[in-house]
């Protein structure tokens, strides 16, 4: 591993995504591959995982899916809890530059300083989300947001084909 700029890392991931997407044989494999790619290539992405809405659950429940990084205590998150619940219930990307200042935050690791959560849409409905934690404050800028939203779109499109 060598240190490159965040922009260079994003460019490298962007170049790899078409191959990763076309080689994945299922939405499940695509989610697994995307978590690996982002975790391996984006040096400030220190936990990368998908939470998916449990089919038919009432009340709705986010369930941990493919992830890279340390195991989290939050394997099931109701929509009224956490940054994860906020993103899924609003259908909007949530970026938190300083997790300690956000009362919604559910702690996964004491090292986490900032977080981005991007909804995954299937047929216009939220089906899950891509959650990324960083050990660095304000790690997720505009380019990161575009990258993570693009990854979430790829997964949404693949899930729609299933
Ligand atoms: N921090 C999230 C919980 C998931 S862990 O970060 C993996 C939240 O506040 O919803």
Q: Residues 49-81: pLDDT tens digits?
A: 999 999 999 999 999 999 999 999 999 999 999
Atom of ligand 1 nearest to the CA of 51: 4
Alpha carbon distance 132, 124 (integer Å): 22
The enclosing H or E element of 66 equals strand 61-68
Over residues 117-135, the pLDDT tens digits come to 999 999 999 999 999 999 9
The answer to whether residue 99 scores a pLDDT higher than 90 is: yes
Q: Whose CA is nearest to atom 2 of ligand 1?
A: 106
| pLDDT at residue number 3 | 83
Over residues 12-43, the pLDDT tens digits come to 999 999 999 999 999 999 999 999 999 999 99
The answer to whether residue 147 scores a pLDDT higher than 80 is: yes
Ligand 1 centre and the CA of 61: distance in Å? 14
What pTM does this model have? 0.97
- Residues β-bridged to residue 115: 96, 133
Confidence of residue 10 (pLDDT cuts 50, 70, 90): very high
Atom of ligand 1 nearest to the CA of 104: 9
Pairing of strands 125-134, 94-96: unpaired
* Stated length of the chain: 162
Ligand 1 centre and the CA of 74: distance in Å? 7
Helix (H, G, I), strand (E, B) or coil at 75: coil
The tokens describing 147, both together, are: 């990258």
Ligand 1 centre and the CA of 8: distance in Å? 27
Contacts with 148 (C-beta within 8 Å, 6 or more apart), sequence order: 38, 93, 116, 118, 130, 132, 140
The answer to whether residue 162 scores a pLDDT higher than 80 is: no
The answer to whether residue 108 scores a pLDDT higher than 90 is: no
């Amino acid at each position: 591993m060598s240190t490159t700029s965040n922009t260079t890392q994003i460019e490298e991931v962007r170049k790899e995504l078409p191959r990763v997407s076309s080689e994945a044989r299922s939405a499940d494999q695509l989610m697994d591959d995307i978590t690996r790619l982002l975790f391996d290539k984006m040096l400030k992405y220190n936990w990368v995982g998908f939470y998916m809405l449990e089919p038919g659950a009432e009340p709705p429940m986010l369930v941990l899916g493919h992830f890279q990084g340390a195991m989290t205590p939050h394997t099931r998150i109701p929509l009224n809890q956490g940054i994860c619940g906020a993103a899924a219930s609003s259908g909007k990307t949530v970026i938190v530059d300083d997790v300690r200042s956000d009362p919604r935050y559910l702690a996964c690791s004491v090292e986490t300083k900032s977080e981005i959560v991007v909804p995954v849409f299937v047929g216009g409905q939220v089906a899950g989300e891509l959650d990324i934690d960083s050990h660095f404050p304000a790690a997720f800028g505009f380019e990161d947001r575009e990258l993570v939203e693009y990854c979430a779109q790829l997964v949404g499109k693949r899930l729609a084909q299933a």
